[in-house]
Amino acid sequence: MAATALYRKWRPKRFADIVGQDPIVQTLRNAVLQDKIAHAYLFSGPRGTGKTSTGRILAKAINLPHDADGEPETDSPIARQFDDGRHLDLIEIDAASNRGIDDIRSLRERANYVPTSARFKVYLIDEAHQLTSAAEDALLKTLEEPPPHVVFILATTEPENLKPTILSRCQRFDFRRVSVADLVGLLRHIAGAEGITAPDEALQLLAREATGSARDAVQLLDQVWATHGDTLTLDDVTAGLGLSSDARALELARAALAKDLKAGLTVIAAVQDDAVELGRFNKQVVLHLRHALLLQSGAAQSLALSEPEQVALKELAGIGSPQDTAAALRAFGSADLRTDPFTALPLELALTGLVYAPKVEAAPTPQKPSGQKSAPSRRDAPQRRTDEPAPTFRTPPPVRSTQPPQQAQEPAAAPRQKTAPREKVPAREPTPEEQLLIDVRAALKEMGGREPVMLAGVLNGSCTASLQDDTLTLIFPLPIGFHKEKIDEQSELVARAATQALGRPITLVTTAADEKPAQRSKLAAAAEAEGLKRVAARSD
């Protein structure tokens, strides 16, 4: 009989077994104790953080007797059926392979039937973001009006790919990555129960390699246990995971900070000769450089390192400045080893570029010679042209000729075409009321979509605006037609755009021109004054 993998054997069966998700666990416990069970839950977060296991525990807690802490029973045959996913009223669906609309239609039909023996029929849909758009639409109707005996639990690693209408009908819980300290505690508990002896340094390395996934951490422990037996050392874990030696990764990090090209290339060549996967080796180098940068910047409190690692880290951080460490981290972090992880060229180029990188110096400010005026810049030119009078070009007198008068006048016509161009009237600055409409239109366009863009077009010249306190009044001239009616239909959308443009809550009011005679007179006077300015400009 095949042995059970550790991650399956030690899968959480109670809320207390879930690691690193205390706020979620406490909320679900309270819901069970107070009998406030939602009809739909959404568990989102990285892989291996306990989403599916929490769904099974919740299904068991709402259908089986529980203690004063909300913990369901675990020793009964029915509880074991929930733990194994074999209970008839716990339906687990893998949305990656059952993602079509026909699968969801079948789910909707079966959801109408009452549970066989439990209080609730629980549908646990894993990888819910894999559902097709049509399947999500079919599921949405059931989520809106579910049968009273059905609870949906959606688990996903990509909640942003679900439709907002699905998200809005679920109680959402975001699972976070498990910290290294919590993972070390979990691994220590499992190792003690399984008779495995391992130092904290080895468990910390396993926890860091798991990158916040409890399932991956337990699986890695199972892997090195199968390779090296019940007694594990740090070297055993390093070799079992296929990692590079910490000593050589530290040596390359030291050479990079000291800009010792010979020592660094020697380390890279030795690692390549040992057929070490350079992608993993570079990951260790980047990790050491990152730790050194955190220590140099005074932010190393969150690092869970052993005593020897802390001593080596302090030595590494004392070699260069934070700027040197950041440059080395950038160089090795951008080394691309994905195409061939056994080719050392990307590491050699990163080290060489770091050693021979030119020093960046501030460009000197150019000094103009004494007595010499600098040439005017293009940015300054328009301002001087508006301040100074436009240059005039005098037409030279016609040259006397013996030709007939009709032919003698033709050469004089060409210079007249080069007369001084008429000075353009500078563009008028918009009034505050006009600028207000411009800002609201811009906010509508930023929203995107057919309706906001159309409303932005409606506001283009069809009305005037007035802002008093937090009330925006749009004044439409008579006769009132399509424009005012369209704005009235979408008043909430326009008010939201005005709120975004002005940075505070705005109330929208629309009115006809004759309802605000004083306002219309003010706007008419402003328009008349502007027209006089234009006439005066043309006469000049």
Q: Which residue has the higher pLDDT, 48 or 490?
A: 48
- pLDDT of 223-279, one tens digit each? 999 988 899 998 889 888 876 556 888 999 999 999 999 999 999 999 888 877 888
Mean pLDDT of 166-194: 94
Q: pLDDT value at position 400?
A: 53
| 251 & 344 share domain | yes
Taking the C-alpha atoms of 279, 285, 286 and 292 in order, what is their torsion angle to the nearest 10 degrees?
170
What is the distance of C-alpha 176 from the center of its chain? Answer: 15
Q: Would residue 250 count as lying in a domain?
A: yes
What pLDDT, on a 0 to 100 scale, did the predictor assign at position 280?
82
Sequence-separated (6 or more) residues with CB below 8 Å from residue 336: 346
Query: Which residue is associated with the tokens 């990158």?
Result: 211
* Residues contacting 343, CB < 8 A, separation 6+: 278, 337
CA distances from 11 to 176, 413, 427, 491 (A): 18, 97, 72, 53
Q: How confident is the model at residue 538 (pLDDT cuts 50, 70, 90)?
A: very low
Other CB atoms within 10 A of residue 186 CB: 22
pLDDT of residue 16: 93
Say whether both 12 and 139 belong to one domain: yes
Per-residue pLDDT of 114-151, as tens digits, reads 998 889 999 999 999 999 998 998 898 888 888 999 99
Measured between alpha carbons, how far is 43 from 57 in angstroms, rounded to an integer?
Answer: 13
Domain end among 310, 325, 355? 355
What is the average per-residue pLDDT within 418-441? 70
**CATH code, 506:** 3.30.300.180
Ranking 15-24, 323-332, 501-510 by mean pLDDT, the lowest is: 501-510
**In a domain? residue 389:** no
CATH number for the domain spanning 351: value is: 1.20.272.10
Does one domain contain both 315 and 459? no
Strand locations in 27-156 (E): 40-44, 90-94, 121-126, 150-156
DSSP string, 160-175: GGS-HHHHTTSEEEE-
Residue 308 has pLDDT above 50, yes or no: yes
Q: Which residues of 128-157 are buried (b: 16+ CB within 10 A; e: fewer)?
A: bbbbeeebbebbeebbeebeebbbbbbbbb
Considering only 12-21, 327-336, 359-368, 428-437, which range has the smallest mean pLDDT? 359-368
Q: Residues 234, 236, 239, 244: what is their CA dihedral angle, to the nearest 10 degrees?
A: 20
What CATH number is associated with residue 218? 1.10.8.60
Cα 79-85-87 angle, rounded to 5 deg: 60
Instruction: Answer yes or no: do 49 and 90 share one domain.
Output: yes
CA distance 164 to 138: 14
| Residues 321 and 220 reside in one and the same domain | no
Q: Do 260 and 336 fall into the same domain? A: yes
Cα–Cα–Cα angle for 85, 87, 88, rounded to 5 degrees: 125
The last residue of a domain, from among 146, 174, 202? 174
pLDDT digits (tens, 9 = 90+) for 265-284: 999 999 888 877 888 888 88
* Cα 317 versus chain centre, distance: 31
pLDDT (tens digit per residue) in 58-102: 999 999 998 888 899 888 889 988 988 889 999 999 988 888 888
Domain of 203 in residue numbering reads as 180-240
Q: Which residue has the tokens 């910390």?
A: 204
Q: How far apart are CA 272 and CA 274, in angstroms?
A: 5
The model carries a pTM of 0.59
Total domains present in the chain: 4
Q: How many CB atoms lie within 10 A of CB 310?
A: 14
Query: Is 44 in the same domain as 129?
Result: yes
Cβ atoms 104, 135 nearer than 8 A: yes
Confidence of residue 419 (pLDDT cuts 50, 70, 90): low
Mean pLDDT of the chain: 81
The answer on 54 and 38 residing in a single domain is yes
- Say if residue 133 is in the same domain as residue 228: no
Alpha helices in 96-213 (DSSP H): 101-111, 133-144, 164-167, 180-194, 200-210
For residue 513, what is the DSSP state? G
In-domain check, residue 350: yes
**Same domain for 21 and 151?**
yes
Helix (H) or strand (E) holding 310: helix 307-317
* 303 is a domain residue: yes
> Which tens digits make up the pLDDT trace of 496-517?
888 888 888 888 888 877 544 4
Q: Are residues 273 and 215 in the same domain?
A: no
On whether residue 325 sits in a domain, the answer given is yes
**Does residue 43 belong to any structural domain of this protein?**
yes
Out of 123, 154, 174, pick the residue that ends a domain.
Answer: 174
The encoded tokens of residue 279 equal 């992608």
Say yes or no to pLDDT of 521 above 70. no
In whole angstroms, give the CA distance from residue 58 to residue 74: 12
Q: 151 has which bridge partners?
A: 122
Same domain, 22 and 160: yes
347: nearest Cα among 269, 292, 238: 269
Residue 511 lies in a domain: yes
410 domain residue, yes or no: no
Confidence of residue 54 (pLDDT cuts 50, 70, 90): very high
Report the DSSP pairing between strands 464-468 and 471-476. Answer: antiparallel
